[in-house]
Amino acid sequence: MRLLGVPLCLAVVLAVSTAAASGGPGLTGAHSCPTQDGFTCSTLRVPLDWRGRRSGTLPLAVAVANNAKAPHGVLLWLSGGPGQPAAGHAANVAKRLGPIAAAYRIVTFDQRGTGSSVLDCPELQQQMGYSDLQPPTAAAVRSCAARIGPARAFYGTDDTVRDIDALRKALGVDKLTIQGTSYGTYVAERYALAYPKHVARLVLDSVVPQRSSGQLETQAFPRVAQVLRAVCKERKCGFDPAADLAADVARYHNGPQLLDAIVTLSVFDPTYVTQFDLPRALHEARQGNPAAMRSMLALIKDSEATTPASIISQGLHASALCEDWTFPWGNSSAPLAGRAAALRRYANSLPKSAFWPFDRATVIDNGIMQQCLYWPPTAPSPQPAAGAKLPPVPVLLLAGDRDLSTPLPWPKAELRSAPRGKLVLVHDSGHGAARTAGGFAALRRFLLGR
- Say yes or no to pLDDT of 7 above 60: no
| 235-249, 280-294, 373-387: the lowest-pLDDT one | 373-387
Q: Please indicate, yes or no, if residue 142 is contained in any of the structural domains.
A: yes
The residues, ordered by sequence, that sit 6+ positions from 267 with a Cβ below 8 Å of its Cβ are: 2, 4, 405, 430, 431, 432
Question: Does 202 share its domain with 217?
Answer: no
**64 and 42 Cβ atoms separated by less than 8 Å:** yes
Question: Does 203 share its domain with 223?
Answer: no
| Residue 1: predicted pLDDT | 57
Direct distance between the N- and C-terminal alpha carbons of the chain, in angstroms, rounded to an integer: 30
Residue range 168-224, pLDDT digits in tens: 999 998 988 888 889 999 999 999 999 999 998 899 999 999 988 887 777 789 999
Edge-to-edge strands of the sheet including 199-207? 176-182, 199-207, 395-400, 421-426
Question: Does 126 share its domain with 195?
Answer: no
Query: Mean of the pLDDT values across residues 82-87?
Result: 93
- Say yes or no to pLDDT of 76 above 90: no
Question: Does 308 share its domain with 225?
Answer: yes
- Say yes or no to pLDDT of 11 above 70: no
Query: Mean of the pLDDT values across residues 121-131?
Result: 96
Residue 91 CB-half CA count within 13 A: 11
Which of 377, 404, 424 marks a domain boundary? 377
Please choose, from the candidates 358, 412, 368, the residue with its C-alpha nearest in 3D space to the C-alpha of residue 134.
Answer: 368
Distance CA 108, CA 308 (A): 21
Strand partners of residue 76: 107
Q: Parallel, antiparallel, or unpaired: how do β-strands 421-426 and 105-109 relate?
A: unpaired
Distance CA 337, CA 341 (A): 8
Mean per-residue pLDDT of the chain? 91
Which of 377, 401, 419 marks a domain boundary? 377
What is the H or E stretch that residue 61 is in? Answer: strand 57-65
Strand partners of residue 225: none
- Say yes or no to pLDDT of 25 above 70: no
Residue range 257-292, pLDDT digits in tens: 999 999 999 999 999 999 999 999 999 999 999 999
pLDDT band at 22 (very low <50, low <70, confident <90, very high): very low
Distance CA 425, CA 397 (A): 8
- Say yes or no to pLDDT of 361 above 90: yes
Query: Mean of the pLDDT values across residues 425-447?
Result: 95
pLDDT band at 2 (very low <50, low <70, confident <90, very high): low
CATH number assigned to the domain comprising residue 425: 3.40.50.1820
Could you give the percent of the chain with pLDDT greater than 70?
94
Angle between helices 278-286 and 291-305 (to 10 degrees): 130
Number of domains in the chain: 2
71: three-class secondary structure by DSSP = coil
| Residue 173: predicted pLDDT | 87
| Residue 219: predicted pLDDT | 79
- Say yes or no to pLDDT of 4 above 60: no
From start to end of 66-130, where are the E strands? 74-77, 105-109
Question: Does 169 share its domain with 43?
Answer: yes
Question: Does 106 share its domain with 249?
Answer: no
User: Which pTM value belongs to this model?
Assistant: 0.91
Could you give the percent of the chain with pLDDT greater than 90?
82
The range of the structural domain enclosing residue 114 comes to: 27-119+155-211+384-448
Which of 377, 401, 429 marks a domain boundary? 377
Residue range 284-342, pLDDT digits in tens: 999 999 999 999 999 999 999 999 999 999 999 999 999 999 999 999 999 999 999 99
pLDDT band at 17 (very low <50, low <70, confident <90, very high): very low
Distance CA 107, CA 109 (A): 7
